[in-house]
Amino acid sequence: MTALTLSTSSAASLRADAIVIGVAKGEKGPVVASGAEDVDKAFDGKLAAVLETLGASGGEGEVTKLPAPSGFKAPVVLAVGLGEKPGKGESFDADTLRRAAGAAARALSGSAKGAFALPVTDAADASAVAEGALLGAYSFTAYRTDGNGKKKAADDKSAPLAEVALLGTKPRDKAFKAAAERATALAAEVNRARDLVNTPSNDLTPASFAAAAQSAAKEHGLKAEVLDEKALIKGGYGGLVGVGKGSENPPRLVKLSYTHPKAKQHLAFVGKGITYDSGGISLKPAGHNETMKCDMSGAAAVLGAVVAASRLGLRVNVTGWLALAENMPSGSATRPGDVLRMYSGKTVEVLNTDAEGRLVMADALTRASEEKPDAIVDVATLTGAMVVALGNRTFAVMANTDAFRDTVHETALEAGEQSWPMPMPKELRKSMDSPVADMANIGERAGGGLVAGLFLQEFVGEGIDWAHLDIAGPAFHESAPFGYTPKGGTGSGLRTLVRLAERAAGGDLG
């Protein structure tokens, strides 16, 4: 991954491929943001005018490159748009800094070093710029070759920016050091999640995902336990077994444990890990299955979040559950009309095999509840209905109490993730009544995302705070990259989980 360094050097004296500065949209044209005073001075205070001549407006995400002034060691100044200039006495908010840094890092792909002189007033700003730059620099190159089967050379134009130097930060200051460490750990784990999501399903199976989780756990001091298909059958995990039995690649349930000796709270995170969702016998039509390798994004977010909690040494216990299966049609697949006996003992009539996520999640939620955590948060690419409701950039938060839903929603915004609270209307539950089993796996079509949430709620232990993030929209980004969001896997949900763990560590879960 991209390296991060803190630097007190002046913009002129630093050897880099580009000096990154911020430009905001002012009332009368572009305005150079603070942090770039040295650069502006070298342009005789006329940098804003030069930028305007070049067509820059300061609009969000806009990138303008110009030659650096003489005497600068870096050849290029890269001005990145910050959007509307904040009011008097106000500063740029964290996500504006993250997105601008991300856009700049993306524009510098293929380069060795970018020196970031963005408006940073404190360690929190530095953390945001670092996070944005490290996330924006991401690219997925594992399957790229030079055309002859050889891995591409390191100087390839699509290679991520190799080093980010943050100017105007103090490398020996405790707060700045902590900010850099947090940004590095967080970005590394988001990028790990993105790699897992982008890995095609012929290489990422439940077994290989479980193995990847085990090796990450080993590297970062977590305990990992894996139930294979035999153990799942023996343990009565009817949901995981029922979804996985149509595939040559059998299911797994992974438990990851991070514990801190001084922890006062215990959080459980549960992730949907369908390594490919064909729909099963209720097969998805063409046009709806091309990106379904992303259906394990929840599990990827959970893995990264537990590892991040460990890397940051948070004073909280965190258990991660990865519900891994591949949903395929075959002679051994679950049929529409089959009844599954779930891990909780409830029976479920599977009317649509494409509503598989809730089946694997149900077993994992019941299992997670057995350990009586203070709260459970699950993350799943659960429904197309939620994509219709909230679009491609916002995830839904549902919960068994309004208070916990609000806590999780606020935490998401704090983490810089777009989130929206959704209701759990009780009257929708009866649409899942079944004539043969305790319930069916589908109900009314209207409010399909809420119906799915109500299904999951049935498997959460009594008295445990529970929230559900439906990340079907934001998990996989299909259009042009923006800010620090690349094409493909995004790592959606992960930063919210880590922020929740941080809040729990501080006894601040509401």
Residues noted as catalytic: 284, 358
Q: Does 277 bind Zn ion (CB under 5 A)?
A: yes
DSSP class of 105: H
Stretch that binds ligand BES, among 70-78, 211-219, 375-383, 461-469 (CB under 6 A): 375-383
Binding mask 279-298 for Zn ion (x = CB under 5 A): ----------------x---
Shortest approach of ligand BES to residue 243 CB, angstroms? Answer: 10
What is the phi-psi region of residue 31: left when phi exceeds 0, alpha when psi lies from -120 to 50, beta otherwise?
beta
Given the complex with Mn ion, which of 270 and 412 has the nearer CB atom? 270
Binding mask 224-263 for ligand BES (x = CB under 6 A): ----------------------------------------
> Scanning the structure block, which residue is given the tokens 């999951």?
456
Given the complex with ligand BES, which of 125 and 354 has the nearer CB atom? 354
Number of residues that bind ligand BES (CB under 6 A): 16
Shortest approach of Mn ion to residue 246 CB, angstroms? Answer: 12
Sign of the Cα torsion 447, 449, 455, 460 reads negative
Shortest approach of ligand BES to residue 473 CB, angstroms? Answer: 7
d(CA 283, CA 276): 12
In angstroms and rounded to an integer, the radius of gyration of the C-alpha atoms of the chain is 24
Nearest to 338 by CA among 265, 469, 434, 262: 434
Sign of the Cα torsion 498, 503, 505, 510 reads negative
Nearest to 498 by CA among 204, 226, 258, 223: 258
The only residue of 81, 448, 491, 493 in contact with ligand BES, by rule CB under 6 A: 448
d(CA 169, CA 268): 36
Given the complex with Mn ion, which of 195 and 354 has the nearer CB atom? 354
CB-based contact 209:298 (threshold 8 Å): no
d(CA 344, CA 462): 13
Nearest to 222 by CA among 281, 309, 125: 309
Q: Does 356 bind ligand BES (CB under 6 A)?
A: yes
Q: Does 295 bind ligand BES (CB under 6 A)?
A: yes
Q: How far is CA 463 from the centre of its chain?
A: 28
Restricting to residues 335-364, which ones interact with Zn ion according to CB under 5 A? 357
CB atoms within 10 A of CB 345: 10
107: helix, strand or coil: helix
Shortest approach of ligand BES to residue 378 CB, angstroms? Answer: 14
Shortest approach of ligand BES to residue 104 CB, angstroms? Answer: 30
The only residue of 308, 342, 355, 364 in contact with ligand BES, by rule CB under 6 A: 355
Restricting to residues 249-278, which ones interact with Mn ion according to CB under 5 A? 277
Find the length of the chain.
510
Q: Does 52 bind Mn ion (CB under 5 A)?
A: no
Q: Does 299 bind ligand BES (CB under 6 A)?
A: no
Of the CA atoms within 13 Å of residue 155, those in its CB half-sphere come to: 0
Given the complex with Mn ion, which of 137 and 325 has the nearer CB atom? 325
Shortest approach of Mn ion to residue 388 CB, angstroms? Answer: 15
Q: Does 58 bind Zn ion (CB under 5 A)?
A: no
The only residue of 354, 363, 378, 470 in contact with Mn ion, by rule CB under 5 A: 354
Q: Does 326 bind Mn ion (CB under 5 A)?
A: no
The only residue of 384, 421, 461, 481 in contact with ligand BES, by rule CB under 6 A: 384
Q: Does 470 bind Zn ion (CB under 5 A)?
A: no
The only residue of 229, 354, 378, 502 in contact with ligand BES, by rule CB under 6 A: 354
How far, in Å, are 97, 221, 314, 342, 373 from residue 262 at the CA level?
34, 16, 9, 35, 16
The only residue of 360, 385, 460, 498 in contact with ligand BES, by rule CB under 6 A: 385
DSSP for 281-325? TSPPPTTSSTTGGGGGHHHHHHHHHHHHHHHTT-SSEEEEEEEEE
At position 490, the amino acid (one-letter code) is T
Shortest approach of Zn ion to residue 274 CB, angstroms? Answer: 5
CB-based contact 22:50 (threshold 8 Å): no
d(CA 477, CA 295): 13
Given the complex with ligand BES, which of 213 and 471 has the nearer CB atom? 471
Q: Does 394 bind ligand BES (CB under 6 A)?
A: no
Q: Does 352 bind ligand BES (CB under 6 A)?
A: yes
Given the complex with ligand BES, which of 195 and 277 has the nearer CB atom? 277
d(CA 203, CA 93): 40
Shortest approach of Mn ion to residue 301 CB, angstroms? Answer: 18
Given the complex with ligand BES, which of 92 and 455 has the nearer CB atom? 455
| Footprint on this chain of Zn ion (rule: CB under 5 A) | 274, 277, 295, 357
| Footprint on this chain of ligand BES (rule: CB under 6 A) | 277, 295, 352, 354-357, 381-385, 387, 442, 448, 472
| Footprint on this chain of Mn ion (rule: CB under 5 A) | 277, 354, 356
